Amino acid sequence: MTLSGRTIIPLFFFVAASYFLYRVNEVLLPFLLAAVLAYLFNPLVRFFEVRGLRRRPVVVLLYASVMTVITLASYKLAWVAAVEAEEAAHNMPAYVQKGGEAFTRLRGSLKSDWTHDDGRPFETLAHRLFANLALFDYVAEHGKTWPAEVLSRMPSFALGILPVLEIAFLVPFIGFFLIQEGPRLRDHVLGWVPSRYVEMVLGLMVEVDNSLGKYVRGLSLECLCVGCIALAGFWVIGLDYAVQIAVVVGLANVVPYVGPVMGILLGGGVALFQWGSALGVLKVLLVCGAVRFIEDWFIQPTVMRSSVHLHPAIIVFSLMSGAKLFGFWGLLFAVPIACMVKVLLDVLWPWYRAQYGLAGPAPLPEVSRIPLI
* Positions that interact with other proteins (CB under 8 A): 46, 49-55, 57, 183, 186-187, 190-191, 195-196, 198-200, 202-203, 206-207, 210, 351, 354-355, 361-362, 364, 366-367, 369, 372
Q: Which amino acid is at 117?
A: D
* CB 41 to other proteins: min, Å: 15
Long-range CB contact pairs, 271-274, < 8 A, 24+? 271/239, 272/99, 272/102, 273/95, 273/96, 273/98, 273/99, 274/95, 274/98, 274/239, 274/240
Note whether 207 and 237 are within 8 A (CB): no
* CB 210 to other proteins: min, Å: 7
Distances (CA, A) of 127 to 31, 35, 121, 141, 311: 53, 53, 10, 21, 39
* CB 269 to other proteins: min, Å: 45
Q: Which is nearer to other proteins, 117 or 199 (CB)?
A: 199
Q: Which is nearer to other proteins, 141 or 187 (CB)?
A: 187
Distances (CA, A) of 124 to 106, 114, 132, 161, 286: 16, 9, 12, 47, 27
Q: What are residue 194's phi and psi, to 5 degrees?
A: -55, 140
* CB 194 to other proteins: min, Å: 9
Q: Which is nearer to other proteins, 54 or 105 (CB)?
A: 54
Distance CA 89, CA 155 (A): 16
* CB 148 to other proteins: min, Å: 56
* CB 311 to other proteins: min, Å: 23
Q: Which is nearer to other proteins, 156 or 368 (CB)?
A: 368
* CB 307 to other proteins: min, Å: 14
In sequence order, the 6+-apart residues with CB closer than 8 A to the CB of 272 are 99, 102, 280, 281
Q: Which is nearer to other proteins, 46 or 116 (CB)?
A: 46
Q: Which is nearer to other proteins, 78 or 190 (CB)?
A: 190
Q: Which is nearer to other proteins, 90 or 369 (CB)?
A: 369
Q: Note the Cα 106 to chain centre separation in Å.
A: 36
In sequence order, the 6+-apart residues with CB closer than 8 A to the CB of 354 are 361
Number of CB atoms found within 10 A of residue 59's CB: 24
